[in-house]
Amino acid sequence: MARHFLTLNDVTNEELKNILNWADEIKKNPGKYSGELKDKTLLMIFAKPSLRTRVSFEVGITQLGGHGIYYDISTSPMGKKETIGDTAKTSSRYVDIVMARLFEHSDIEEYAENSDVPVINALTNFSHPCQIVADLQTIKEKKGELMGLKLAYLGDSNNNVTHSLICGCTKVGMNISVGCPKGEVFMPQKKVVDEGKKIAEETGGSVTITHNAEEAVKDADVVYTDSWMSYHIKAEEKEERMKTLMPYQVNRELMDRAKPDAIFMNCLPAMRGMEQTAEVIDGPQSVVFDEAENRLHAQKAVMLFLLGKFK
């Protein structure tokens, strides 16, 4: 049976650490892996826009000797003229591995259940595991270690990136502190928080939810924020969301509450003046473009892992 990567819980803590080590190794010696996926085809299904995911996956499979097919869902019968299962079963006969960026998480689960080849979640409304592998790689590069570090996440937290950060941070023994408005619209889903706390009991990490931004960032090693207008949020909600989320904007004053050597992260795309100020994202503590680059290396490691090239 094919191994899938729909959330970070699809890999053990040990496997996640290995993937991070391989991502480092691939970054340092890309040429060594240039023929590893020779003649393999990656199907890249997109129901939402993308820069980083779309480009880094295609470059990644090409650099590994394979080929990527970009497949815009608006040109597909999937979910309209045929079931998701029929698309998955059919594409399994053509390609070796699939990545999909879909709206509903249940849709990628249905796809994976029917796929004979590995399926990678390239973002659903619920989770974004590839992003967090790249994020952990970046934090490790900048800080030298992961265990025991504090990551503060600010802003919209009923969010794919927040959910995957809670899972990823706790799996590697980090402490994650989420600062967000009250209420289920903006708070991370309870099942994710409960699961994260359970993982943290084993790894020594922790999960804290607060509605006080200053408390969230206090002594943090990493300050992280994500878009207030995720791809699936309707444009007409913007004004109201900006009002509610503004107390969680990452600005200079908030950054000063974190450790002096704290790094600033955003998975991108980012809007200056919304989830962070220009001064922060364009300032010396920001590592957002290293973070974006690591999507390439991290996803190469994920593809090699799922195709059994790394054990």
Interface residues with ligand CP (CB under 6 A) are: 50-53, 123, 131, 267-269
Active site residue 101: yes
Residue 226: contacted member of ligand CP, ligand NVA, none (CB under 5 to 8 Å, by partner type):
ligand NVA
**Least distance to ligand CP from the beta carbon of 260, Å?**
27
Binding test (CB under 6 A) with ligand NVA, winner from 36, 109, 195, 226? 226
Which of the following is catalytic: 52, 101, 241, 297? 101
CB nearer to ligand NVA: pick between 162 and 277: 162
User: What is the Cα gyration radius of the chain?
Assistant: 19
Binding test (CB under 6 A) with ligand NVA, winner from 56, 138, 227, 266? 227
**Least distance to ligand NVA from the beta carbon of 42, Å?**
19
Backbone angles phi, psi at 267, to 5 degrees: -65, -20
Beta strands (DSSP E) in 28-180 are 41-46, 67-72, 97-101, 119-121, 150-154, 175-179
Residue 51: contacted member of ligand NVA, ligand CP, none (CB under 5 to 8 Å, by partner type):
ligand CP
Active site residue 241: no
Q: Does 103 bind ligand NVA (CB under 6 A)?
A: no
Which of the following is catalytic: 105, 169, 226, 276? 226
Q: Does 127 bind ligand NVA (CB under 6 A)?
A: no
Contact 138, 23 (CB under 8 A): no
Active site residue 93: no
What residue type is 20 in one-letter code? L
Active site residue 189: no
Please enumerate, as own/partner, the contacts of 243-249 that have beta carbons within 8 Å and a separation of 24 or more.
Answer: 244/181, 244/186, 245/155, 245/156, 245/181, 245/186, 245/274, 245/275, 247/181, 247/213, 248/154, 248/155, 248/179, 248/180, 248/181, 248/213, 248/275, 249/154, 249/155, 249/274, 249/275, 249/276, 249/277
Task: Please identify which residue in the block is written with the tokens 């490691």.
Answer: 301
For 184, the enclosing helix (H) or strand (E) is none
Binding test (CB under 6 A) with ligand NVA, winner from 267, 274, 296, 306? 267
CA-wise closest residue to 156 among 98, 215, 227, 262: 227
Active site residue 131: yes
CB nearer to ligand CP: pick between 172 and 292: 292
Q: Does 281 bind ligand NVA (CB under 6 A)?
A: no
**Least distance to ligand CP from the beta carbon of 253, Å?**
26
CA-wise closest residue to 223 among 179, 251, 172, 258: 258
**Least distance to ligand NVA from the beta carbon of 157, Å?**
10
- Please give the residue ranges that form the binding site for ligand NVA (CB under 6 A): 123, 128, 159-161, 226-227, 230-231, 267
